[in-house]
Amino acid sequence: MKKNQIVYEDFAKVEMRVGRIVDVKPFPRARNPSYKVEVDFGELGRRWSSVQITNYPEDELIGRLVVCVVNMPARNIAGFKSEILVMGAPDAEGRTMLLRPDAGATIGSEVF
């Protein structure tokens, strides 16, 4: 579905940062299969998110670099405070594949 065109000023309001997943926990209370993940943004600190990426084994997520939106209000998801949005895109089977920067990206750096 194509969305309406926006101006650059609208896009510039979105703050995306590089983070590293440092903890993954099961999230059985979520409506759809999900994990709780903690993401480290270096000097910006650590934040939690609920993510529907159970196509990845938990141990493969630890240490992975990800791109996250960090300036959205927290959402209550099944009693869990999700503070960031971890970015992904669907593959041919509809599974969410994480967007990730190259290994040399600096933790906490802004994505533009």
CA distance 69 to 33: 21
Write down the pTM of the prediction: 0.93
112: which 2 tokens? 């533009």
- Asked if 86 contacts 98 with a C-beta cutoff of 8 angstroms, the reply is yes
Kindly state the percentage of the chain with pLDDT values over 70. Answer: 100
Question: Quick one: which of 95, 96, 98 has its CA closest to 39?
Answer: 98
Residue 1 confidence class, pLDDT cut points 50, 70, 90: confident
Q: What is the CA radius of gyration of the chain?
A: 14
What is the CATH architecture of 13-103?
Beta Barrel (2.40)
Assign 13 to helix, strand or coil.
coil
Mean pLDDT across 85-110: 95
Span 59-70, pLDDT tens digits: 999 999 999 999
- Asked if 82 contacts 74 with a C-beta cutoff of 8 angstroms, the reply is yes
Span 35-60, pLDDT tens digits: 999 999 999 999 999 999 999 999 99
